[in-house]
Chain A
Amino acid sequence: MTAKIDLKRLLRALIIILIVTVWFIVVILSGKFIDLLRGPGLAFLLLGGAAMILMGFSGPEIGAAFKHASGSPGDRERLQKSAYFWETAVRNFWMLGVLGGIIGFIIALCVSRGGLGPIASGMAESALTTVCGMILGVICLVPALKLTGKLNKQPLPEARAVLEKPVEKTVKALRFENIIGYALFIAVMGWTIILPLVSKPINGPLNPLKIFFNWPSLIVVLGGTIALVMFMGDASAGRSFTLSFALTGGIGSLVGFVQAIMGMSSRVIADVASGISFIISSCFIAFLGMMLVGIPLEDRTVKTGRNRKGLTLSRIAWYVFPLVTLIFLFIVFILVITPIKKVV
């Protein structure tokens, strides 16, 4: 009986995979969406997504999440973990999409030939990574919703179990998978940043460190984050890092925006450009900090049962900060193409 059910489930999963594959082949062969399928952008998203999953989860947890998504039964705690896994996958693709957009935007600003056309096309290309990230996020949302629905249908734990103080498990030291995840993430970031700037030089290869890390914004974002983490406390849980990076990134962007607007009113191009670079760099550094420090720590803590209640604030940071960044990127594009004429 069990073997029969397993065979049925396997067949159903195979049919779904087949339908999705055929759909992708048809889309590619139609040639209409070929511009959306940018190899480097897609590779950045997939490898970055894998790295972020590995940073926060262990091999067995990843395996269980895939099993539960394909319909395998499980107890409440395990299903909860798997639902959280898929939620983090949605978040990772969304954030990686926006981060890819920022990187593409910076590269477009540095290697564009001049004129409105090349700038616009460079920026549109960078937005494609964000679109792909959103699509992948929506795909991961399906198992997340499915598992949450399953959890809601399950009977609630007995009153005694609720009344008993839950045993807080300690956060284990870094596993081998986590270290691989960190290494992969750093490698993917390095590859994405260095390769386009070296292969598309204007006047000799550009220095990625000088372009991506604007010193004032780096100092402000790091300083602000350290101060906030010290005040919030519980740095090992990761939540304070996530919130602090998002807050300081947002404040940095606002400061840059104010400077750019002031530059517009005084008609000084250098001030406008300086403000714009501060906006972009603040967002980029805040994203890197959130994804490299805050989020993996938080993922590892949430699985132990700690910090679950504080997830609402973190969720706001995960989803609202990238949205704010996208709005700022749009404003930056408008600022770049707006002529600032000197008054005679």
Chain B
Amino acid sequence: MKKENERDPRIDELLKKTLKDDLPPEVESAMKRQLNLFRKKMEEYEPRRKMGIVRIFKRLFEINGFRQVQWIFKKSVPVFASILMVILGSIMQITGSQSVLAESISALSVAASVSQELDQTESMECSGQVFAEKDKSLQYSIQWLSSNNTRVLIEKADKIPAKTVWFTDEEITVADHEKNTLRKIKNVEQIEEPLFQHLMSFLSPSNLVVQMEGKWRLKHYTQQEDCEWWIFTVTIPEEEILLEISVDLCTYLPVDIKKFLRDSTKESGKGKILMNAHFKWNTSIPAQIMLPKITEGD
């Protein structure tokens, strides 16, 4: 207790004198009791404050203290948890955990870009092989110009030219190198080459776009980080066929396409390979080879 708060007999005397007739004796004694109790509490106050942890624990289990803890759990913990949720969600988003929707958007975005770029190409060269039993496999090369001129050269396995087909706006012309004939036909079925149907999707960029938008269904894709390529796997459900398309992310144009028979027993789904195609875009194609005629080079 501080010195200035200590008992002053003079003040006591003054109070006694002043209040002498005002208070009845029982009230005065009650007041004295109260005053003594107050003094006692004040004297006890200092040592109690020094109790430290013990006091904190005691306070905690007092009814008022428990209420405070309850308040903390009622208000602060949910607020803290909710802020933690916001931070956790943001970190998950920044660290790049890809969702199914994001993957689908990525693939769709690339597919849309490929379809836009295909519409703007000026020329296309496509070469590859169509695989068949025994010696019936054939090699082919397709040249397409933006004026809608297409030339297809079909070679046998030993690189002997078999047929050259020219598609122009008006007609189809076929040069048969084995029979040494040049004839005009009305539709593709008259070409007399059973494996030619495999090439139909690759005759022009617009054919590729039609296939992409109408027939091919995206199955999954993988990104080749080292060469900036994306490999799309698409299916043609009605034909049980699987296609693997490699797209260059610098140009958004297909570089390679491989066609497989679908094999559900394998994890990749890829069965026997049917054909492959390698593409070159916007290269210069000599105009003279686009004219229908039999030349020695053919």
Residues of A within 8 A of B (CB): 106, 109-110, 112-119, 202-203, 206-207, 210-212, 214-227, 230-231, 255, 259, 269-274, 276-278, 280-281, 335-344
Contacts and interface: CB of A to CB of B under 8 A. Distances in A.
A259 B90 CA distance: 11
Contacts of A222: 82, 85
A125 B223 CA distance: 31
A286 to B, nearest CB: 13
Interface in B228-248: 228, 234-235
Contact of A115 (B82, B84, B213): B213
Given A114-B112, A114-B213, A342-B250, A277 B92 contact: no
A115 B98 contact: no
B103 A273 contact: yes
Contacts of B181: none
A293 to B, nearest CB: 15
Contacts of A338: 109, 113
12 contacts: A110-B101, A114-B108, A115-B114, A215-B89, A220-B93, A226-B81, A226-B82, A272-B109, A274-B93, A281-B101, A339-B116, A344-B250
A112 B108 contact: yes
B146 interface: no
B1 interface: no
A109 B106 CA distance: 10
Nearest to A217: B89
B219 interface: yes
A274 B98 contact: yes
B214 to A, nearest CB: 7
B234 A114 contact: yes
A118 B107 CA distance: 13
A114 B216 contact: yes
Contact of A339 (B102, B113, B213, B218): B113
Interface of B: 75, 78-79, 81-86, 88-90, 92-93, 96-117, 209, 212-220, 223, 228, 234-235, 249-252
Contact of B85 (A211, A223, A255, A281): A223
B112 A220 contact: no
Nearest to B208: A115
B115 A115 contact: yes
A272 B86 CA distance: 21
B97 A216 contact: yes
Contact of B111 (A114, A206, A214, A221): A114
Contact of A226 (B78, B89, B97, B213): B78
A274 B99 CA distance: 7
B101 A219 contact: no
Contact of B110 (A206, A210, A212, A269): A269
B115 A277 contact: no
A267 to B, nearest CB: 9
Contacts of B93: 216-217, 220, 255, 259, 274, 278
Nearest to B84: A223
B86 A224 contact: yes
- Interface SS of B by simple majority: helix
B251 A341 contact: yes
A118 B75 CA distance: 50
B99 A220 contact: no
Given A220-B90, A255-B90, A344-B250, A270 B113 contact: no
A137 to B, nearest CB: 28
Contacts of B220: 203
Nearest to B94: A259
A221 B107 CA distance: 26
B79, B93, B212, B215, most chain A CB atoms within 10 A: B93
Contacts of A272: 105-106, 109
A115 B199 CA distance: 21
B213 A110 contact: no
Given A220-B89, A255-B90, A272-B109, A227 B82 contact: yes
Nearest to A228: B82
A307 B180 CA distance: 92
Contacts of A119: 108, 112
Given A270-B98, A336-B109, 19 more contacts: A115-B114, A115-B213, A116-B112, A118-B213, A218-B89, A220-B90, A220-B93, A221-B89, A224-B82, A227-B82, A230-B78, A269-B106, A270-B223, A271-B96, A281-B101, A336-B105, A336-B112, A341-B249, A343-B250
Contacts of B90: 216, 220, 255
A337 B99 CA distance: 19
Contact of A109 (B104, B249, B250, B251): B104
B20 to A, nearest CB: 53
Q: Which of the listed residues B106, B110, B217 has the most CB atoms from chain A within 10 Å of its own CB?
A: B106
A337 B217 CA distance: 18
B82 to A, nearest CB: 4
A274 B102 contact: yes
A225 B89 CA distance: 13
Nearest to A335: B109
B218 A113 contact: yes
Give me the 5 closest cross-chain CB pairs, A-B, nearest first: A223-B85, A114-B111, A219-B89, A220-B89, A115-B213
